[in-house]
Amino acid sequence: MKNTSCPRVNFDFTGRFLPPVYILVFVIGLVANGWGLKSLLHNWKKLKIINVFVLNLGLADILYLLTLPFLMVYYFMGRQWIFGDAFCKITRFCFYLNLYGSIGFLTCISVYRYLAVVHAVRVMGRLTLTHSVGISVMVWLFMGIQSLPDMLYSKTYGNNTGKCYDTTKNFYVESYLKYSLGRTLTGFCIPFLITLGCYGHVIVVLCRTNTTDKVLKQRSYKLLLILILLFSVCYIPYHAFKNFNLMARVLTSQGVCPEWSSGVYIAYQISRGLVCLNSALNPLVYLHGNEEIPAQFGQLLQQARQMFSHPPPTNSGSMPMAQITEEV
Point out the residues of the chain with pLDDT beneath 70: 1-5, 7, 43-47, 158-161, 211-213, 216, 286-328
So what's the pLDDT on residue 201? 87
Coil, strand or helix at 193? helix
Q: How far apart are CA 275 and CA 272, in angstroms?
A: 5
Asked if residue 123 lies in contact with residue 116, where contact means CB atoms within 8 angstroms, the answer is yes
So what's the pLDDT on residue 107? 93
Integer CA distances (angstroms), 56 to 117, 124, 153, in order: 23, 23, 28
Three-point CA angle 182, 284, 136, nearest 5°: 50
66-98 per-residue burial string, b: 16 or more CB within 10 A, e: under 16? ebbebbbebbeeebebeeeeebbbbbbbbbbbb
* Torsion sign (Cα): 120, 125, 126, 127: positive
> Going by DSSP bridges, is the β-strand pair 163-164/156-157 parallel, antiparallel, or unpaired?
antiparallel
So what's the pLDDT on residue 100? 95
Q: Pick from 114, 143, 134: which is nearest to 52 by CA?
A: 134
Domain limits, the chain: 12-293
Q: What is the DSSP letter of 67?
A: T
Q: How far apart are CA 165 and CA 153, in angstroms?
A: 10
pLDDT in tens, 104-143: 999 998 898 888 888 877 777 777 888 889 999 999 999 9
So what's the pLDDT on residue 321? 33
Q: What is the DSSP letter of 3?
A: G
The answer to whether the pTM exceeds 0.85 is no
Residue 9's Cβ-side half-sphere holds a number of Cα atoms within 13 Å equal to 21
Asked if residue 261 lies in contact with residue 173, where contact means CB atoms within 8 angstroms, the answer is no
Integer CA distances (angstroms), 205 to 32, 177, 264, 302, in order: 33, 40, 40, 35
Specify the CATH superfamily of domain 12-293: Rhodopsin 7-helix transmembrane proteins (1.20.1070.10)
So what's the pLDDT on residue 160? 56
Integer CA distances (angstroms), 185 to 76, 107, 239, in order: 34, 14, 10
pLDDT in tens, 154-206: 998 765 558 899 999 989 999 999 999 999 999 999 999 999 999 888 888 87
Q: How far apart are CA 109 and CA 85, in angstroms?
A: 36
User: What stretch of H or E contains 222?
Assistant: helix 214-229
Burial class (CB in 10 A: 0-12, 13-18, 19+), 167: buried
So what's the pLDDT on residue 113? 84
Burial class (CB in 10 A: 0-12, 13-18, 19+), 12: exposed
So what's the pLDDT on residue 263? 92
